[in-house]
Amino acid sequence: MLKHILTLTWNRRWANSLVMLEVIIAFFALFVLISVGYHLWSNYQRPLGYNYDNVWEISLRIDGRWQDKDTQILPDVINALNALPNVVSTHAQSAPAFRNWSWTTRLPAKDSTERVYRNLFSDGAQETLGIKLIDGRWPLAGESEPQKAVVAINRYMRDRFFEDDVNAVNRVIVDGESEFRIVGVFEDYRQRGEFTEQVSYTIGSLDLSNPGNNVTTLFVKMAPGTPVSDEELVLNTAKSIAPHWDMGIVPWSELREQHHANVLTPIRIATVLAGFFLLMVAMGLIGVLWQDVLRRTQEIGLRRALGAPSGNVRMQIIGEMLAVTGLGVIIGGVLAAQLPMLELIDAINWQTTPMALVLSALMIFALSFFAAYYPSYIAARYTPSEALRYE
């Protein structure tokens, strides 16, 4: 029987190649969607690395350049805010979070140059935000010099830049004129929220006595349960000291939600489109297989007239379909396995590819099985004489 199936499959190769093409397309589509879906999901699963609860962001928009007088009043603003009853602490950063705002540079990593995100935190900010230090220490104010930055890096950056057995602390990354001395390693600080890729990240010290042009944002940590109405008090206090700063205040949690809404809209649209696409591909595959089996109703009748038990005929047809599907899956699998090598998108990488291949194959087989099982069931319900008359 196996030889018979193989002979028949081979002799029907042109009809089967249509089915196979459909299988390959469906397999490929599934593979990419599963990879991307899994990637987004696993990104979302990774911890944010800091705590945004009860933190309010005060964004600064200063007319013209940052001047000495701004440097002079900055500590006064921070002290005045810290003196408010519900304020736990205040710090400054050079890059805000949950906004499309980034400061990046490219540095030589293990085997290529890698984009590295940078940020400067004023003293104590890391503790306030609950960023977890896993090795070394945080940079201190005044440690950095022009072209000689002192930084802590995140775990991902350590893995991208150093071999496993190397201690990253006290290593120096040299890039032309500039140097980055690493004094600590922290878990993560996902500046742009939970849906973003893993990125290399450095945190340096923002020296409040010499901030340059770097202060864009103040963060005020409030006591738990502080009413939203305090926003005005906080803002007015800052304005009373720095009336020429254009400031806005918003709770970080709100900013995060807004940011997610922006990020999620394209993801949702893509998900719906992907769902439709998948549905179309699945319908196509089912349609082609279904048609193929129904076209063979006469053959089913004939085989039964010649003495085949109907279960046997159905098994044979399902077997043929699964064999063709298997061939398509193998070809699709070989093609899909080339994708991580091309490094087109982060979502398709060596870690997730085996899982995505196996899952896609299982789903395609389930689909094919259904698409062969049901019409063959219908065809086998006819008596042999009815099946032979079927057009």
Partner 1 sequence: MSDNLNQQPLITLKNIRKMYYTDQIETLALKDINLEINKGEFISIMGPSGCGKSTLLNMLGLLDRPSTGTIEFEGKTLDKLSDKALAPIRNEKLGFVFQTFHLIPDLRVVDNVALPLLYRPMSNKERRERALNALKIVGLDARVNHFPTQLSGGQQQRVAIARAIVGEPPVILADEPTGNLDSHMGNEIMSILFDLNENRGTTIVMVTHDREQADQTQRTVRVFDGQLVH
Ligand X SMILES: Nc1ncnc2c1ncn2[C@@H]1O[C@H](COP(=O)(O)OP(=O)(O)OP(=O)(O)O)[C@@H](O)[C@H]1O
> E strands of 98-155, at which residues?
104-108, 113-121, 133-136, 148-154
Q: Which of residues 12-41 bind partner 1 (CB under 8 A)?
A: 12
Contacts of 319 (CB under 8 A, 6+ apart): 5
Query: Which residues within the stretch 368-387 sit at the binding site for ligand X (CB under 6 A)?
Result: 386
Answer for the pair 269, 350: CB distance below 8 angstroms, yes or no.
no
Q: Is residue 94 within the footprint of partner 1 (CB under 8 A)? A: no
Quote the CA–CA distance of 337 and 267 in Å, as a whole number. 25
Residue ranges in 360-389 that form contacts with partner 1 under rule CB under 8 A: 383-386, 388
How many angstroms separate the CA atoms of 219 and 5, rounded?
71
Residues 252-311 contacting partner 1, CB under 8 A: 298-299, 302-311
Pick from ligand X, partner 1, none: which does 94 bind, CB < 5 to 8 A by kind?
A: none
Measured from the CB atom, the residue of 359 and 388 that comes closer to ligand X is: 388
Interface with ligand X: number of residues (CB under 6 A): 2
Question: Considering beta carbons, is residue 343 or 386 the nearer one to ligand X?
Answer: 386
Phi/psi-derived region of residue 135, left when phi > 0, alpha when psi is between -120 and 50, beta in every other case: beta
Task: Kindly tell me which of 127 and 386 has the beta carbon lying closer to ligand X.
Answer: 386
Q: What are the CA-CA distances from residue 190 to residues 65, 153, 158, 239, 271 (Å)?
A: 29, 12, 15, 30, 23
Residue 383 binds which of ligand X, partner 1, none (CB < 5-8 A, kind-dependent): partner 1
Between CA 350 and CA 353 the distance in angstroms is: 5
Give whichever of 10 and 164 is closer to partner 1, judged by the CB atom: 10
Residue 314 binds partner 1, judged by CB under 8 A: no
| Contact positions vs partner 1 (CB under 8 A) | 1, 3-4, 7-8, 11-12, 298-299, 302-312, 383-386, 388
- Footprint on this chain of ligand X (rule: CB under 6 A): 386, 389
